[in-house]
Amino acid sequence: MSNATDGDGADSLDSLDSLNSLIMALPKAELHVHLEGSIVPELALKLAARRGVALPGAERGVEGLREAYRFASFRDFLKVYIALSNTLQQAEDFSDAVFGIAEGLAAQQVRWVEMTFTPMTHVVQGVDPDAMLAGLADGRRRALEQLGIEFAWVFDVVRSLPEQGPQTLELALRARDQGVVALGVGGPEGPQWSVVPLAGVFERAHAEGLKSVPHAGEQHGPPSLRETLDLLAPARIGHGVRCLEDPELTAELADRGIPLEVCPSSNVALGVVPSFTAHPLPQLLAAGVELSLASDDPPLFGTTLTEEYRRCVSAFGWGPEQVLKIAAAAVRHSFMPEDRKRALLAAQRSVAQAHASLP
Ligand SMILES: [Zn+2]
């Protein structure tokens, strides 16, 4: 295959087609995606109708809901996010949400997903924790059996509600044999929301063998990352893109090999960066920071995982080698067992060789 940056127009188009088909065909891992933020409008309407939940714009059907998804501010985003969360009430709702999301991921050849879920958002609304965990487990089992996609869970704590930390950890430990691999921190980020009150919970999570994958360095810059590195011993960091505001911090992330989960369209939608082409992903790679590409809340940010790859190809001129390298990074940074990693990496290489004449 010719390189996208040389040859005449027809060659370039061939290259793009070939890159698109490589992106679609590569078996992939997705490491940063939220359950509640992955519910596409069609699935949301089904879940909302079952429980009589009002969704913004839903009186105009899928189109109206789709419009509401194209939020204008973080506040609008939260409104839709909370409404989506409220559609999940009984075990079958959680199961159907997981399975519906899995169908969308399987169509993109995602084979392994570490999905963030915020259990206390539902528990404080009166959802029975046992029904919630049973529903997640059922959806996960159906996704594996019927679609060949495996879910691991990151149970996360809302940063502004640290008092929910201990119960989140308790639920995470209770659901360990249902695929919980890590504890996370999400929600609003800013100087007023320190992770100091969560340090003890994360210490206990580590002692129990859970990994730490907090969001940091997204809405708030280097101080949030500094505190996260010092107090939460992260195995990976969600976003982290604002490390570049502090060269020492960036060097530390690179030296310690702490990978970032980079979600460019999310960063654009939430105003962390002005545009996709202005996203600092290339600078992070140039600085030696390990990273994978992820979709965060895909339907809310008008994207999918494969779309993130396509946008990187278009914005940063990636060729097949770069696409494969980033797809492999997600597998290497994942918490899947080592033998499974080796198998998925080998499968990626063979698909890439077939598609793009890679050595
Ligand atoms: Zn996120």
Distance 214 CA to ligand 1 centre (A): 9
pTM score, whole prediction? 0.93
When pLDDT is cut at 50, 70 and 90, the band that residue 332 belongs to is very high
Active site residue 218: yes
- Gap between the Cα atoms of 329 and 326, Å rounded: 5
Nearest to 273 by CA among 319, 320, 311, 322: 311
What count of Cα atoms within 13 Å lies in the side-chain half-sphere of residue 331?
23
Active-site choice (30, 150, 189, 218): 218
What pLDDT shows up at residue 7?
43
pLDDT in tens, 272-314: 999 999 999 999 999 999 999 999 999 999 999 999 999 999 9
When pLDDT is cut at 50, 70 and 90, the band that residue 78 belongs to is confident
Distance 195 CA to ligand 1 centre (A): 16
Across 113-117, 125-129, 175-179, 185-189, least confident range: 185-189
Distance 294 CA to ligand 1 centre (A): 9
Distance 6 CA to ligand 1 centre (A): 37
Would 63 be classed as within a structural domain?
A: no
Mean pLDDT of the chain: 93
Would 85 be classed as within a structural domain?
A: no
**Mean pLDDT of all residues in 79-103:** 95
**Mean pLDDT of all residues in 200-222:** 96
Would 338 be classed as within a structural domain?
A: yes
Distance 34 CA to ligand 1 centre (A): 6
- Gap between the Cα atoms of 248 and 137, Å rounded: 42
Q: 137 is in which domain, residue-wise?
A: 18-34+110-356
- Supply angle C-alpha 197, 201, 206, rounded to 5: 135
> Which protein residues have their CB within 5 A of the ion that is ligand 1?
296
What pLDDT shows up at residue 188?
80
Instruction: Tell me the two tokens of residue 6.
Output: 């040389």
What's the alpha-carbon Rg for the chain, to the nearest Å? 20
Domain count, the chain: 1
**Mean pLDDT of all residues in 208-218:** 96
Residue given tokens 């100091």 in the structure block: 196
Q: Is the pLDDT of residue 1 over 60?
A: no
Would 99 be classed as within a structural domain?
A: no
Would 249 be classed as within a structural domain?
A: yes
Do 132 and 122 meet the contact criterion of CB atoms below 8 Å apart?
A: yes
Stronger pLDDT, 312 or 11, i.e. the higher one: 312
Distance 306 CA to ligand 1 centre (A): 17
Q: Is the pLDDT of residue 212 over 90?
A: yes
What pLDDT shows up at residue 12?
67
Q: Is the pLDDT of residue 2 over 50?
A: no
Q: Is the pLDDT of residue 359 over 60?
A: no
Measured CA distances, 189 to 233, 249, 267, 330, 352 (Å) = 18, 18, 14, 25, 38
When pLDDT is cut at 50, 70 and 90, the band that residue 315 belongs to is very high
Question: Residues in the chain, how many?
Answer: 359
Distance 4 CA to ligand 1 centre (A): 32
CATH of the domain at 254: 3.20.20.140
Distance 215 CA to ligand 1 centre (A): 7
Would 220 be classed as within a structural domain?
A: yes
Would 3 be classed as within a structural domain?
A: no
Across 7-16, 50-59, 167-176, 254-263, least confident range: 7-16
Stronger pLDDT, 16 or 259, i.e. the higher one: 259
Supply the DSSP symbol for 55: -
Distance 248 CA to ligand 1 centre (A): 25
Q: What proportion of the chain, given as a percentage, has pLDDT over 90?
A: 82
pLDDT in tens, 230-282: 999 999 999 999 999 999 999 999 999 999 999 999 999 988 999 999 999 99
Distance 116 CA to ligand 1 centre (A): 8
Would 42 be classed as within a structural domain?
A: no
DSSP-based three-state secondary structure for 181: strand
Q: Is the pLDDT of residue 343 over 70?
A: yes
**Mean pLDDT of all residues in 319-336:** 97
Q: What proportion of the chain, given as a percentage, has pLDDT over 70?
A: 95
DSSP one-letter string for 113-164: EEEEE-HHHHHTTT--HHHHHHHHHHHHHHIIIII--EEEEEEEEETT-GGG
Distance 259 CA to ligand 1 centre (A): 15
